A and B are shown apart, each in its own frame.
Chain A
Amino acid sequence: MEAVASENIVKGLVEIVGQKYVRADDVIRWTYAIEDFAGTFFHPLSDKYGPPDIVVKPHSAEEVSKILKLANTHKIPIIARGGGSDMTGAATPLKKKGGIILDMTDMNRVLDFQEGLNAVRVQPGIRWGELHHELAKKGVTAGLQGPHGFLGATLGGGIGGNCFSINSPKYGWLNENILNLQVVLPNGDIIETGSLANTKVKDWYYRYCNGPDLVGIFLGAAGSFGVITEFTLRTYPIPEYSATLAYSFPDTDSEIKFVFKLEWYGYVTDLWGIAFFTLPDSLKRILAPLVGERDLAIFATEAYDKDIFKAQKKAIDKMAKEFNGIAIPVEGICRALGISIINQTEWMGGGIFGKVMGPNGSDTCSIAHLPQWQRVVGSALEIMKENEDALSGSIPLIGADHFFLFAQLLGRGGVANTFAMTPADFMDPENLKKAQDLYQAIVESYMDTGVTALYRIGKESQFLTKRFKPEYISFMKAIKKALDPNNIMNPGVHGLGLEEEE
């Protein structure tokens, strides 16, 4: 940005939000030039990304509206940002574009909760920990416990990045729980969706009414169509009965069939699995004497009624036996040790994957349809084995150079994680390049299977744009052009907003 323009824009922003909430000095700019969680830097960190020109903290939709109008006048990119752990560049400017980062973390209030509403109205900067605390006071839960940033992550970031969450197998992904939005459009207009489109409606939140569902296009859009300034989230009663169960299975195929059916019947709240064939030797040596060379499924189940809970556990056991599952008695141990895979609200949380991946690693933000999971990770595993040298920067939890978590069940309909790490030493350009190439190769291999998708794309859209059907791209571009003719909203996200360079 030209110095004079920058000065005028800073002046304009100060008039909108006040001096305290506008920063354009190097130290602040550079701290927003990276995405990070658990000490694991954004993997494709490269020359492509750079610092914003200005960072601004709004406190209301009206302020956001004025900022967007100002940005439109000067044709400056706007990037809305929450906790900054997107990992695909959605919260970081492109170096050649720069722009203004809207740090949304001060818009963090619970706005409305009424008994019997079964929903809560919040601002996007609220963090999961704060939300849990507020909902617990009302005796309800969001069901979901939070994404990889756990309690410190903002919900707004999760909406923009299509986040899954602990407990998504039961409650769905975050965006499946969104009812209404308040959005500031690129031109500064403030709109509300669904039932709230009617000026007479103040506090009744329903999504599918008053015409087409306009909520969807803003979810997972990483702020490319507008800035979400309020939203309504479903709430649930807190289940009184829950347990952590585990079963081993003779092979991955049996385990997958069990997990698929478990989720289909609605018995699972969250699930982590281990596929023996993907494990490094060090972990195989530990697990084999304990449970044999078998796959493991560790999961939580819950219910609201004692009798139903007992019957549910019995049904799960019967189902596991159908697939030659052997129960592993973890329930008592978990209770004694105070561990539950679904109750993670007591600790600050976050970064559970950090050291699993090793420093500077990245996961691939990809999902697969569970029955095809073996095929998807099998090809990636081959690539990783062939390139072990490139992974030498890793100090992962299990002391090995690669690591797969079997199909953490991520959502309803048999959606499973296809997690792969590609660690790198950022101070060693050669090592970094190798790791980046490997990351690209793995994602390419995933995408070529035809049963994988990237749930988060950010500005790493190169894997998708060449595979998107042309009509789909045209449709997305048409929406973008209609809403954001000056391409100011997070240019580069999903490959949009860079038309002038094509």
Chain B
Amino acid sequence: MAFYLLEGSLKYSKEVADCVYNCTTCASCEEICKPMSNMIVQMGGSALKTMLPRILSPLGAELEALQSVAIMEAMRADCVDLGLQPEPLKKTAESIEKNHNPYGEPHANRTKWAEGLDIPETADTVLFVGCSTAYRRQEIAKATVKILKRAGIKFAVLPDEWCCGSILLRNGNVDIAEKMIEHNVELLKEKKVKRLVTSCAEGYMGISKDWPQLAGELPFKVMHISELLAELISGRKIKFKKPVNLRVTYHDPCHLGREMDIYDEPRAVLKAIPGLELVEMYPTMHAAWCCGAGGGVKISNPDLALEIGAAKIPFIKETGATVLASACPFCKTHFIDVIDRAKEPIEVKDITELVAEAMGV
């Protein structure tokens, strides 16, 4: 489509916009079109991952996949410029500009979930909560806070945290995204933050990939909560007190897996929980299917999002798991909707909730 738009056979129109905005930006297409070098890296694991670029780079060889998602986002930015963005996404962008979150909630309520938890506003480590966790999945925020406190991590939550801008960039609202990113980066610099931790997969990708592109090199380290939890578990900073006797299957969030290559850490965390049996579903990891909510699809085309999510149910059931675990608040919200509609006896939990349960906090 992009080719024919460039070449001129196809013109931007409402139909083009509808099609472009039906993409969940899950990056499966990039996975399919990965160059051979990436495939080999993927097949070979960490040893090859280090070795191969060293061999290939003097040859001028390419390790980057075709940037299909970036092309999709560029087409969306064109749609925004031409006034073709679907109405629900326009409203989302407006809400973010006004309230600094996509849910239309007052900014003042952003840390309402933290009332009574006694969380400082200054520390070297900041828990960047993210809009979905702060307004819709407070249980993830609370579980994260409990785990970090019990593990002895000194951290802060910033009441003036704004939307990370990732959803805006995915949807082509580049100007508003820049404002959000600029604000957040300035705030974190001002607070002299050394490490940012987030439990949001989309936020983690946006902060790691998009922020440096728009705001320059970041003066702090960025971690997804699964990375920190894996580190704390292997360093024996997290102690489990009770078994969680559940058969669990793990859903790889697209923005954490394919986009950020984080597959092992969430699995290491789940496997460390006593009593928990982790069963892989098919397809998994690089080939995992999207939940259906990403790229603004849950907002612009909720029925399609539910349909995509529902396609995963047979694979989840096939594992015999009673719990679907994920490491993304938006995936969790969406799977709750999908599973409710399908009336399946599957519970959806974030990895932080399972860890907190096993820690007895």
Contacts and interface: CB of A to CB of B under 8 A. Distances in A.
A350 B10 CA distance: 28
Interface stretch (B41-49, B134-142, B162-170, B174-182): B41-49
Nearest to B67: A39
Nearest to B40: A339
A114 interface: no
A338 B45 contact: yes
Given A26-B10, A30-B10, A34-B3, A352 B61 contact: no
B39 interface: yes
Nearest to B19: A27
B36 A395 contact: no
A3 interface: no
B61 A398 contact: yes
B31 A27 contact: no
Interface stretch (B113-121, B217-225, B282-290, B353-361): B282-290
B16 to A, nearest CB: 5
Nearest to A41: B3
A199 to B, nearest CB: 34
A26 B15 contact: yes
Contact of B45 (A150, A337, A351): A337
A55 to B, nearest CB: 12
A397 interface: yes
A353 B34 CA distance: 9
Contacts of B36: 352-356, 397
Contacts of A282: 59
Interface in A368-401: 395, 397-399
A351 B34 contact: yes
B1 interface: yes
Nearest to A29: B10
B246 interface: no
A152 B32 contact: yes
A339 B49 CA distance: 13
A356 B39 CA distance: 12
Given A28-B19, A355-B37, A133 B282 contact: yes
Contact of A426 (B3, B15, B39, B60): B3
B45 A31 contact: no
Contacts of B68: 39
A350 B37 contact: no
Given A286-B55, A399-B59, A133 B33 contact: no
Contacts of B43: 337-339, 344, 346-347
A5 interface: no
Given A34-B3, A399-B60, A25 B15 contact: yes
A30 B13 CA distance: 13
Interface string A124-138: 000001000100000
Contacts of A485: none
B108 interface: no
Interface residues of A, number: 44
A38 interface: yes
A12 to B, nearest CB: 22
Contact of B16 (A27, A286, A395): A27
A347 B42 contact: yes
Contacts of A283: 59
Interface residues of B, number: 42
A104 to B, nearest CB: 18
A150 B282 CA distance: 16
Contact of B287 (A31, A151, A337): A151
Contacts of A37: 33
B55 A355 contact: no
A351 B35 CA distance: 7
Interface string B20-64: 000000001001111111011011110110000001100111100
Contacts of A399: 59-61
Contact of B39 (A41, A152, A352, A398): A352
Contacts of B31: 347-348, 350
A4 interface: no
Interface string A320-355: 000000000000000011110000101111111111
B282 A339 contact: no
A33 interface: yes
A51 B4 CA distance: 11
Contact of A354 (B42, B45, B59, B66): B66
A427 interface: yes
Nearest to A351: B33
Contacts of B32: 38, 149-150, 152, 348-351
Contacts of A353: 36
Contact of B37 (A344, A397, A427): A397
B62 A355 contact: yes
Given A26-B13, A41-B3, A351-B35, A395 B62 contact: yes
Contacts of A350: 31-34
A150 B40 CA distance: 15
B304 to A, nearest CB: 12
Nearest to A343: B43
A344 B18 CA distance: 35
B288 to A, nearest CB: 9
A355 B37 CA distance: 9
A316 to B, nearest CB: 23
B275 to A, nearest CB: 27
Contact of B35 (A30, A129, A354, A427): A354
Contacts of B66: 38-39, 354
A37 B29 CA distance: 10
Contacts of A33: 4, 9
A57 to B, nearest CB: 14
A355 B65 CA distance: 9
B33 A337 contact: no
Given A151-B287, A399-B61, A27 B35 contact: no
A398 B39 CA distance: 15
B39 to A, nearest CB: 6
B44 A338 contact: yes
Interface in B97-136: none
Contacts of A397: 35-37, 56, 61-62
A435 B287 CA distance: 34
A338 B42 CA distance: 10
Contacts of A354: 33-36, 66
Interface string A412-428: 00000000000000110
Nearest to A151: B287
Nearest to B64: A355
A350 B28 CA distance: 11
A397 B59 CA distance: 8
Nearest to B318: A137
Interface in B224-277: none
A412 B286 CA distance: 33
B34 A337 contact: no
A129 B3 contact: no
A426 B6 CA distance: 11
A129 B284 CA distance: 12
25 contacts: A27-B1, A27-B10, A27-B13, A28-B15, A30-B4, A34-B3, A37-B33, A38-B35, A39-B33, A39-B66, A39-B68, A129-B287, A152-B32, A286-B55, A339-B40, A348-B32, A351-B33, A354-B35, A354-B66, A355-B37, A356-B35, A395-B60, A397-B35, A399-B60, A426-B3
Nearest 6 Cβ contacts at the A-B interface? A355-B35, A399-B60, A39-B66, A348-B287, A399-B59, A350-B32
Given A33-B9, A397-B35, 17 more contacts: A25-B15, A33-B4, A34-B4, A39-B66, A151-B287, A286-B59, A338-B43, A347-B39, A348-B31, A348-B286, A351-B35, A355-B35, A355-B62, A397-B56, A399-B59, A399-B60, A426-B7
